[in-house]
Structure 1
Amino acid sequence: MAGTTVQDGGLVERAFTVAMAAQGVHPGEGEFEDMLAHVRATMGESKISVFRHLLRGDEARARAANAAFEHAYAELVDGGHCAAIPGAAEVIDRLRTAGVKVALTTGFSRDTADRILSALGWTDIADLTLVPAEAGRGRPYPDLVLTAVLRLEIDDVRSVATAGDTTYDVLCGLRSGARFAAGVLTGAHDEPALRAAGATHVLPSVRDLPAALDI
């Protein structure tokens, strides 16, 4: 969602800053900058997994940081700092009209995902929305895509196309068996990073997805 169909505008980093401040780690400190670099590199991963890594497996601190992050992100969304990628809603409608089942996936919690969907008026926009807790593991594992395949009753994972703005989105698609795993350039990672991850296509935006699929 964020960076692919939803404009992020740096909200993840802003919410991360709030979360780490609650853990006593502040901007300008070497530890914070190292942590922020890891957050940028792992965009698309389940956020609780990121905090577990950053806080060296301390589950209580990881959960507290994740809760603070989700709260801060939700406040930013509720404050109007959330918008659709231009053309994203139209793309989703075009795909569904053509008979393509659409699943939106995210590394956020269900509560945060629902806040974003509600803020955009997207509560019924897709056939399915999924968060890591509903699939097993988050990206870069294939669970989100495979869970979507099962729930949407797709016959062959090779008929699945995925698109996302991070290397972890690309890896998730490829590891699931999808033959089309596109990277888009509206979010966290640039074209060299997406291609290095194995992206089958790199698109300027999700708006270019139907044409790449000949739809």
Structure 2
Amino acid sequence: MTDIRLVVLDMAGTTVADGGLVERAFAAAAAEMGVEPGSADHTEKLAYVRATMGESKISVFRHLFGQEGLARRANSAFEKAYGELVDGGHVTELPGARAAIEELRADGRTVVLTTGFARVTQDAILDALGWRELVPLTLCPADAAGRGRPYPDMALTAFLRTGAAEDVRQIAVVGDTSYDMLGGVRAGAGVVAGVLTGAHDGAALRAAGATHVLGSVSELPALLRGADTA
């Protein structure tokens, strides 16, 4: 297996525990858009949000509300609600996540954190966790031509911006959703690892192309050390 030099890590569900905040923020956005709680429309839209965990949130709202103006209004309401929950102290790191990132960096690997949220929300999470200086680069869809997962753009942007790897096969993409896995496959990553701390189970992760399924991100440093010697 090719030496992994660049690790592209998802945030919510992979390194960050948000305790269902995506659904709570969606409920606030839906109310802003006049979607009646408990209605069939609300149930259908919530099911889509759950099914597309990991995708760029603006893309999700474009699907749900159609018109660009409505999608942007819903997305703004979602980001505002999520930001308020973050400010309220509802976001924490998943056990061992920071230690794993530090371990990866100590092993000489470059780590990039990615998200499907907007930059303002990503920054709020980083500030809440004290992670601003933890990694050299963080990316949201707007940093990669506006396309989030399942497109490979954020992983490839990390590859280009960091210069940490010479070949896309030296990238590891790690996340908790099938969209993370599909994005990693499309990027040509040598390791596409799913973790079981978030939205999707092992069967869904493998079906989307995961090369490995881990209990949590804390297992990643050992996996990649094994890859070094394989």
Which TM-score band applies after superposition, normalised by the shorter structure?
A: over 0.9
**What's the offset of the Cα at 1:212?**
1.1
Partner of residue 193, structure 1: 204
**What's the offset of the Cα at 1:175?**
0.3
The AA in structure 2 aligned to 1:188 is A
**What's the offset of the Cα at 1:26?**
2.6
Q: Are 2:103 and 1:94 equivalent residues in the alignment?
A: yes
Instruction: Show CA shifts across 1:44-89 (max 9, x none).
Output: 1100000000012x11110000000000000000000010001000
Q: Are 2:36 and 1:9 equivalent residues in the alignment?
A: no
**What's the offset of the Cα at 1:36?**
0.7
Partner of residue 93, structure 2: 84
Deviating more after overlay: 24-33 vs 112-121: 24-33
* Residues 47-58 of structure 1 aligned to structure 2 (within 5 Å): 47-56=57-66, 58=67
The AA in structure 1 aligned to 2:13 is G
Q: Are 2:125 and 1:116 equivalent residues in the alignment?
A: yes
Partner of residue 33, structure 2: 23
Gaps of 5+ in 2: 1-10
Partner of residue 3, structure 2: none
The AA in structure 2 aligned to 1:59 is E
* Residues 37-186 of structure 1 aligned to structure 2 (within 5 Å): 37-56=47-66, 58-136=67-145, 137-153=147-163, 154-186=165-197
Secondary structure of 1:214's aligned partner:
helix
Secondary structure of 1:139's aligned partner:
coil
Q: Give the whole-Å Cα distance in 2 for the aligned partners of 1:187 and 1:91.
A: 17
Q: Give the whole-Å Cα distance in 1 for the aligned partners of 2:214 and 2:50.
A: 20
Paired residue for 1:206, among 207, 210, 217? 217
Q: Give the whole-Å Cα distance in 1 for the aligned partners of 2:221 and 2:55.
A: 26
Is the 8 Å Cα contact of residues 19 and 69 (structure 1) preserved in structure 2? yes
Paired residue for 2:45, among 35, 40, 46? 35
**CA RMSD of superposed structures (Å):** 0.8
Q: Give the whole-Å Cα distance in 1 for the aligned partners of 2:166 and 2:111.
A: 15
Is the 8 Å Cα contact of residues 8 and 187 (structure 1) preserved in structure 2? no
Question: Quick one: percent identity of the two aligned structures?
Answer: 64
